Amino acid sequence: MIIMKMNEKGYLGKLKELKKSIYLTKRNKIIKVIKDISSISLSLLFFILIWYLIRYIPFFSVIPSPINVFKKFVILWSDGIFGVKLWQHVIISLGRVLLGFFYSFIIAVPLALLCGSVKIINRLITPIIDLLRPIPPIAWIPFAILLFGLSTLSYTFIIFIGAFFPLFQNTYDAIKSVKRVYKDVALSLGANKIQIISDVIIPSITPNIITGSKISIGVGWMCIIAAEMIGISSNTGIGLFIMIMQSIAQIDSMIAGMIMIGLVGILIAIMFQLIEKILFKWREK
Amino acid sequence: MSEDYLLKIENVSKYFINEFGEKIPVLEYLSLSIKNNEFYTIIGPSGCGKTTLLRILAGFDHQFTGNIYLPNKSIYKKNGKNSTLLGKVGYIPQEESLFPWLTIEKNVEFGLNYLQLPKNEKKKIVQNLLQLVGLEKYRKYYPKEISGGMKQKVVICRALALNPEYNLLLMDEPFSSLDSQSRNKMQEDLLDIWEKKKMSILFITHNIDEAVFLSDKISVMTKKPSKIKETIYVKIPRPRDRTSSEFNSIRKYLLNSLYQERE
């Protein structure tokens, strides 16, 4: 019966169906966006509600109301401490992260490439990395201060440590999992060893390098805030901002700072999603 | 000395060493030769070392004993880099081997980038080849966007683009991942390319039907340690009818021959 119906419709009928399906996919997309936005707003509302109510439990009564924090947030946008606005503190912290990440990138990725392609170097380096990896970046703070004093270099060093291992590991694992057949084919097509690295290995591991970078920047972001809180003295940074606000009992400013950290984290994640979407169209889902 | 072969191997042996340190012979005194413009197929029980043999011929594997001869060239030495076949014969592996990060066009162009060729010449070669296999409109697609059969055609184009010096393609079960219908279609297309390009093909498969449909000459390999058990010539004119009695009698013969090589 179904076959009969299909035939009755004929060519024009099919065309109509096609148009309808295009229309439907467009409509579905719009519906999906609306659904996403409403579910996110609902979840945020839920969060704010809990925040509001939790303050009535005696233990949590010091928490300021979300409305106060929001007001403070707006004020802090154009005001701050030590003459530095909240967003400027964030930018400074981010800058430190990016600087440390940059050094980490230019060392970890080439080193992983070397370890992945030269056996002797691999045997020499891997045990060292296995030994150093478990040491948390924060545990390096005293060491960093010893080496670089109370300076930006110390921050850079801590971020470098935090960002190095995820970047190295992701790159190294990716090199090890490049299919042998790709290298064979490149060889048979006349590529030499260096061309195999540049034309086969590097393009096939780029997605993993980006994933490694995402994790590294995430770790770096956590490290910088801890480093700014714990000990490396300076007048700036979002970590320091939160610490100082707590010590002068400006709890709503403190929480505004914490929310700022969360927002920056979301921004970084979105940025990476975009990069991946643009760069890796070729990847299988 | 007149050369009546394109590639000849004599007494090639190879062994692997397993985890207990024992020698496991894979190929033992294996000899064969392929002529110009010949479609030569090797069939054998699974795990008999067909892929190993092809990897030696393609020039990836130097750990073997025995000799490989090329016309007008002395012996193909084990360790001499100059005499390897790398880059001089086309190699089509069994696994999917298109570079997923490159478009179809760039995949075909891959080997050409290592030659000193002007840009428009490269483009022309790529275009001609894609036209030959009827895929020119997919040239901007990525491998994930085309079917398995199309992918294998692109792989063939990529090997042909270099115009392999010996005009020889080594194919290792290239259609084994395809369903039977596209497999049959690909066999016809491959014969078409083979005839147009006037080249030689050394084809490896475990599918008897495929071997009989395609080949001028079929060798049966023994189980491990492998050598050539027997070689038969298929003289049925092309296009071949898979249901004809001649076709079937050859198929039956090969089936029997292979059956005796079960492990």
CATH number of the domain residue B19 falls in = 3.40.50.300
Using CA coordinates, name the residue in chain B closest to A186: B111
> Would the CB atoms of A188 and B114 count as touching at under 8 Å?
no
> Would the CB atoms of A282 and B89 count as touching at under 8 Å?
no
- Going A180 to A183 to A187 to A188, the CA torsion angle's sign is positive
Residue A237 CA, distance from chain mean position: 19
* B203 and B261 both lie in a single domain: yes
Does B89 touch chain A if contact means CB atoms closer than 8 Å? yes
* B60 and B105 both lie in a single domain: no
Q: Say what the pLDDT of residue A149 is.
A: 83
Number of domains, chain B: 2
Name the domain boundary from B163, B190, B217.
B163
Partners of residue A195 in chain B, C-beta under 8 Å: 114
* B103 and B41 both lie in a single domain: no
pLDDT band at A13 (very low <50, low <70, confident <90, very high): low
pLDDT band at A11 (very low <50, low <70, confident <90, very high): low
A143 and A196 Cβ atoms separated by less than 8 Å:
no
pLDDT band at A179 (very low <50, low <70, confident <90, very high): very high
Q: Say what the pLDDT of residue A178 is.
A: 93
> Would the CB atoms of A284 and B89 count as touching at under 8 Å?
no
**pTM score > 0.90 for this model?**
no
Cα B30 to Cα B8, B34, B35, B98: the distances in Å are 11, 14, 17, 31
* B71 and B187 both lie in a single domain: yes
Residue B121 exposed, middle or buried by CB count within 10 Å (0-12, 13-18, 19+): exposed
* B178 and B158 both lie in a single domain: no
Q: Say what the pLDDT of residue A44 is.
A: 92
* B193 and B263 both lie in a single domain: yes
Residue A145, helix vs strand vs coil: helix
Does B16 touch chain A if contact means CB atoms closer than 8 Å? no
B132: tokens are 């030959």
Please give the average pLDDT of every successive group of 10 residues along chain B, which has 263 residues.
Answer: 73 86 87 90 84 86 81 57 65 91 93 88 91 90 90 91 82 89 90 89 92 92 84 88 89 88 72
* B75 and B121 both lie in a single domain: no
Residue A115 has pLDDT above 90, yes or no: yes
What's the average model confidence in pLDDT over A202-226? 92
Residue A4 has pLDDT above 70, yes or no: no
* B181 and B82 both lie in a single domain: yes
* B222 and B188 both lie in a single domain: yes
* Domain that residue B22 falls in: 1-89+167-263
Q: Say what the pLDDT of residue A2 is.
A: 45
Q: Say what the pLDDT of residue A122 is.
A: 93
* B80 and B176 both lie in a single domain: yes
* B172 and B192 both lie in a single domain: yes
Name the domain boundary from B132, B163, B194.
B163
Does A194 touch chain B if contact means CB atoms closer than 8 Å? no
The more confidently predicted of residues A231 and B140 is B140
Note the pLDDT tens digit of each residue in A81-105: 667 788 888 999 999 999 999 999 9
* B171 and B159 both lie in a single domain: no
ipTM above 0.85, yes or no: yes
Q: Which long-range contacts (CB under 8 A, 24 or more apart) does A270-279 make?
A: A272/A210, A272/A213, A272/A214, A275/A210, A276/A207, A276/A210, A279/A206, A279/A207, A279/A210
Name the domain boundary from B108, B143, B163.
B163
What's the average model confidence in pLDDT over A2-27? 65
Q: Say what the pLDDT of residue A212 is.
A: 93
Does A179 touch chain B if contact means CB atoms closer than 8 Å? yes
Cα B141 to Cα A169, B95, B138, B158, B230: the distances in Å are 32, 20, 5, 15, 44
Q: Say what the pLDDT of residue B257 is.
A: 87
Does B114 touch chain A if contact means CB atoms closer than 8 Å? yes
What's the average model confidence in pLDDT over A61-81? 84
DSSP A234: -
